[in-house]
Structure 1
């Protein structure tokens, strides 16, 4: 009985906050609201934060329904522009076609802390879009505005080192998404002189990193992750810095999902390192292949292959399947992988080459591969037994990959990828 009363009270309270929030939205968009926009926006944000989960869903539904363009007015304006394509008619059509909720978000953004509040709102929205497809237009408006506000011209690149504020260092530990940081000693090693960490910041969120990348300065291209994140390892002297290897990139703001940040970050960092350390000749990654094992288990589907290549893929899959007796879980153990016969190990490499060099261009291709290839990198080398962590074995049977960033060719490689062609080394091409 008590729980029912509490639930009813939450619903009443949520409905009250929702009504007040919608009133604030209309006040903020009114002409009179412009004079008091900061105070109204501040109240609006506070009300949103107090909304229960179900009331937040209702709020986004109301944004979709009540703050969309007027279809009749848009149609009339479009007809007027079709009959007379003047600048005035085009301007009128553009104004009417823009959803009022975009202007609402702009006015929220004017208040102190408004940018962070909108990012937080979008995080809540993203949690609902898949379940409520009618919210996709609202999500498109959020993404459109945030992509403008967080374009590279507004972002600040900063190096993170051991002398950075403790709050920032704690966020680096918390948000590391690729290779978990095991406490302060681990972080200290990742910030030693033969390591670098760079992050993007926005002027409106000066204390919150948006995305950061970790770099190892090495004599050669790395083939395994364990030595790079070994907190007991000895730092290398600058005389051995020949290669800059990007080994982890992590987003810190879920509300900025889909906003292009990482591609600009890697290129900016590469340019920064080249200025600081002219002896660096190679810029590459040591990257995971998170979808590889799942793809193999699904039968290694790969559309559009010529007959000869399809046959080689089929033979490679058959050989790997036979090597583990059809039990792919056996390939998630390092002992099994080390014991593979040379021809079976080569077949596993061939499968990875097809997955990255052909399947990556498909819509369901590996997200890490698509990120780097679309960013202008070249598929350079496969690294069997590169990641023997539980996660690496589960996701990719321990396989990792190096992508090469040739700064003089990234634009050419990007254009090729857009056209469906993967830039890759001869070694990788020979496996297809």
Structure 2
């Protein structure tokens, strides 16, 4: 994705969408890289972010609308189709942008990349949509298909959510994935919470005593962030480290640690102790080290490149007092802020991931002290990656028992675990449970 200094916001948004949709790039990485390299104003950067994430979030819905006006999308030259998606998103969901302006800019985008005839085609399609309006998804007879189009989710995900939660709650979850994602931070020192809340014009998190949130705002640009007083972390993720009940002296393993939010949270409880943070990739470990340095926690964190499934081959028995396994998962709970996940996963992934999750638990448990605890967490809301993993682990490891967790918000309590679905508090979907090695 080559960037020009003179590139416009919509041209940049189009290039990012093409990278995601046609080349398999991750939206958040492609967007951050492109914005960092661009010379756009902050206002235009915000527009690029809105266009990219908005179009990806509504992609299934937009494609269904376009199918009524385009008989054969496979015959369209690139970038006609992504331009149509991008522009239709603006026309339907961004009321501050007049339709005529959005259409005019779409035609210019295509003309620059192709020719006048292609621009004329785009103009004709969009003018027809403007005149006739889009069809109503309520006309779709099959329930799963109708909900798929309404909430822009793959049919398999709609089906699985209904199976897991029932239709009423599943629809509430689906609808919540279209809400605007809010910004959240974790404060390092609870004594500074009130002053930081006022300084950052934020409000308290409903679920995390360490959390501050606001509907909009680049927390990372604040002086408090630069000084290491706060760090970016979703509210539900902030609930993980406290479950370890750290006293400060422990040797802790964070088995799947990048990008380091939970690692640094663990380290903030330690004085004489240390957290060993593992990841498969050096560049991800570098992110943890960078955050640790900003927060003043480098002396309490040791990073190491290692597959968590091989922990027992590297560390001796009874080496760790406490362990966090924030396991690799489908990431379904993150769909609001990582919308392209829905196009990367399928039902089979959940089966494969469960095997990996159990392998990790089986490896790390061999290095735990008697009486020690393992906190197991994921950013997904399906039992196959959560409760079923805990159940299968306990069946194969009779020397472990489940530790019931508690939280004041009882609606997130399920069988002694925390299960935060996205519609409850507008956070990421998350699961947290705990195991103890019997003495």
Classify the TM-score, shorter chain. under 0.3
TM-score, normalized by length of structure 1?
0.25
TM-score, normalized by length of structure 2?
0.25
More helix by share: 1
Greater radius of gyration (CA): 1
